[in-house]
Amino acid sequence: MKIYLRLLSYLKPYSGKMVVAIVAMVIFTLLQSMSIMTLIPLVDKVFNNKEVIIPHSVAFLPFRAHIERLVTYLNSVRRYPNMLNMIVIFVLICTFFKGVAEYLHEVMLEYVGQGVCKDLRNHLYGHIHTLPMEYFDKKRTGELVSRINYDVSLILEAVSGRFAKSLMDCIQLPAYAVIALCIDWKLAMITMIGLPFLIAPIGIVGRKVRRLTKRAQEKVADISSILFETISGIQVVKAFCMEGYEGHRFKHENRILFRVMVSAVKKAAILSPLTEWIGMIVVSFLLYYGARLVIKEDITISWFLVFLGMLAAMIKPIKNIGKLNVGFQKAMSAADRIFYLLDTKSSMLERKDAIELPRIRSGVVFDGVSFEYTEGVAEVLRDINLNVKVGEIIAIVGPSGSGKTSLVSLIPRFYDPTEGRLLIDGIDLRDVTLSSLRGQLGIVTQETILFNDTVRNNIAYGQVDAPFEKIVEAAKMANAHDFITPLAQGYDSIIGEKGEMLSGGERQRLAIARAILKDPAILILDEATSALDTESERLVQDAIDKLMRRRTVFVIAHRLSTITHADRIIVLEGGKIVQIGRHEELVSQEGIYKKLYELQFEI
């Protein structure tokens, strides 16, 4: 119930349209009932030329005095052509306005359903961006994509116009039941006897469908993960001739999803024939008992036909209760997963009294910093003490797994130290706003992150208001202008997903242009040239040299030739600083740096 009430809270912005939909549904139900009631004067007055009467069995008729006056008027009208014309015109008018009411109801509720799903997607997407990096280290990308797409689509199934039509039918059920009860309570009670036999299987099937839907959602997440991994890594798949293996893996997961979905459909499909069969048993009793009342003249045939008309109008809603419940259970299963994600709290919280970090003036200090990705697992960094002055270039080297990337990932607060403090100008980074901290940082990594957008927008990412002249200037400084201008649309050319339409060196230079345009106080370079050929590396390194001027720089590099100019080189091993100094000093000392240098240059 809590999940359902929470889902209903998303309807609040659309309360006006909900009111219109409900009013339209009430009008539709009234017009539908009035259309059926025209059977009484049609049969009694037009066909049989008898007076319209209200049988004694109709004991609970609401607004009886008004209805009796209406009956008196109808009896005073000539049966042909006046009465027949009145009935035909009245039915046509009712049908027209019923159509208008049904249209409004469906459109308004479809608008509400689509709006709720839009808001849920926006909420999910926004919330995902608030989660810390450690969350994404543990979660599959495909699973998150499945939550936003597939799970939200199941919510739409339960609040859209398609679902609303079934809901309208089901809400009409009590109205028709009340009219039937007013006509003859004994006949109505016979109808009610069958309801428990209808509701019980609906509840049982609904619970099974919910369990199957949850399993289907998990399988969709698995399939989404496989799709994301294989498509993004298609080059590796093809290079290792693993198309067959990946195809088999996909087919296996897809087959499981197929079986789960078919099983859910089987469970849901049994409801319609089951409810129809039980309904026909009830109708058979009604026909038998009602015919006896007509024969004994306890009720007129016209009123009995109206009763049957109300009963016929109830059959569709009764059948739709099962569909309604199946859709509801699917939505609740999806809502469980959606709200579980929304309830995931970020460990990287910004303090309420966080301050704006001024432009860096003195430097960056690692004060006894230790860090571990998972509690209880071996520390990645241990007791790091480092004082970096403004404008200093710090190179970080060491064997794989020594903690180089982890060290620089603490500066933008992608992670927080497990122990110790990280300070800028003496201020703990946990005491400043994330935007003021990250606004001073520029990051260029080996894996360049570009978007399926124009060259201009990729350079100006995060600075959408940047003048075009500044963008061009940044591109020129990054040695990117010369390859951008020959493109089909120049700076307005789309570069494809991850910039796949560009070479590795070109992508890297765009990333550097982005950093130049941002004009960061602190620059982080994580093996920015390690995957490039000689010519591309020369152009990129020249762009990096321009970018590094007058900035505080942290450089991670495997190629030691690119960091010989660093003010200090930090050597990490096992998460600890084991050496520190300039290139000339470290090469002259016995230690890890000298070994790495000799290995690279085969000395």
pLDDT on residue 532: 59
What pLDDT sits at residue 468?
A: 92
H or E segment and range at residue 254:
helix 243-269
At 162 the pLDDT is: 53
| Nearest Cα residue to 445 out of 409, 415, 475 | 409
More confident residue, 57 or 557: 557
Helices and strands, counts by H and E, the chain: 24, 10
**pLDDT for res 421:** 94
What is the distance between the alpha carbons of residues 77 and 91, in angstroms, rounded to a whole number? 17
The share of the chain scoring above pLDDT 90, in percent, equals 17
The dihedrals phi and psi of 35, each to the nearest 5 degrees, come to: -65, -40
Instruction: Please state, rounded to an integer, the average pLDDT across all residues of the chain.
Output: 82
The rounded distance, in Å, linking the Cα atoms of 458 and 172 is 55
Instruction: Find residue 421's DSSP bridge partners.
Output: 367
pLDDT band of residue 356 (cuts 50, 70, 90) is: very high
pTM exceeds 0.95, yes or no: no
**387 three-state secondary structure:** strand
Tokens of 239: 């290079």
Q: Summarize the chain as % helix, strand, coil (round to 5).
A: 65, 10, 25
Q: How far apart are CA 206 and CA 194, in angstroms?
A: 19
User: Burial, 537: exposed, middle or buried (Cβ in 10 Å; 0-12, 13-18, 19+)?
Assistant: buried
Around 166, how many Cα atoms within 13 Å sit in the side-chain half-sphere?
17
Q: How far apart are CA 23 and CA 15, in angstroms?
A: 12
Q: Are 156 and 113 in contact (CB under 8 A)?
A: yes
Compute the distance between CA of residue 226 and CA of residue 222 in angstroms, rounded to an integer. Answer: 6
Residue 158 predicted with pLDDT over 70 = no
Q: For residue 420, is it left (φ>0), alpha (ψ between -120 and 50) or beta?
A: left
Q: What is the spatial distance between Cα 172 and Cα 181, in angstroms, rounded to a whole number?
A: 14
Q: Give Cα 84 to chain centroid, integer Å.
A: 56
* Beta strands at 419-424 and 363-371: parallel, antiparallel or unpaired: antiparallel
pLDDT tens per residue across span 421-473: 999 999 999 999 988 998 889 888 877 788 888 999 999 988 888 899 999 99
| Structure confidence at residue 491 (pLDDT) | 92
pLDDT at 319: 65
Read off the tokens for 103. 């249209």
Residue 165's pLDDT is: 59
Q: Are 261 and 216 in contact (CB under 8 A)?
A: yes
Q: Where are the domains of the chain?
A: 2-342
The residues, ordered by sequence, that sit 6+ positions from 231 with a Cβ below 8 Å of its Cβ are none
User: Each residue of 378-400: pLDDT tens digit?
Assistant: 789 999 999 999 989 999 998 88
Q: How far apart are CA 309 and CA 286, in angstroms?
A: 12
* 3-state secondary structure (DSSP) of residue 333: helix
Count Cα atoms within 13 angstroms, Cβ side, for 148.
15
464 or 411: which leads in pLDDT: 411
Q: Is the predicted pLDDT of residue 589 greater than 60, yes or no?
A: yes
Task: Give the pLDDT confidence score for residue 381 in this predicted structure.
Answer: 92
Answer whether 428's CB lies under 8 Å from 410's CB: no
- Residue 417 above 70 pLDDT? yes
- Fill in the DSSP letter of residue 374: S
Q: The CATH number of 2-342 is which of 3.40.50.970, 1.20.1560.10, 3.40.50.80, 1.10.260.30?
A: 1.20.1560.10
Query: Which residue from 325, 318, 319 is spatially nearest to 173, judged by alpha carbons?
Result: 318
**Better-scored residue on pLDDT, 97 or 237:** 97
pLDDT at 335: 84
Q: What is the pLDDT of residue 570?
A: 93
pLDDT digits (tens, 9 = 90+) for 268-290: 777 767 776 776 777 777 777 77
* Residue type at position 190: I
How sure is the predictor about 167, in pLDDT bands with cuts at 50, 70 and 90? low
The pLDDT tens digits of the residues spanning 216-267 come to 777 877 787 777 777 766 766 776 677 888 888 888 888 888 888 888 777 7
Highest mean pLDDT among 133-137, 271-275, 430-434, 587-591: 430-434
Q: What CA–CA distances, in Å, run from 572 to 314, 380, 384, 529?
A: 77, 11, 10, 20
- Which position has the higher pLDDT, 273 or 73? 73
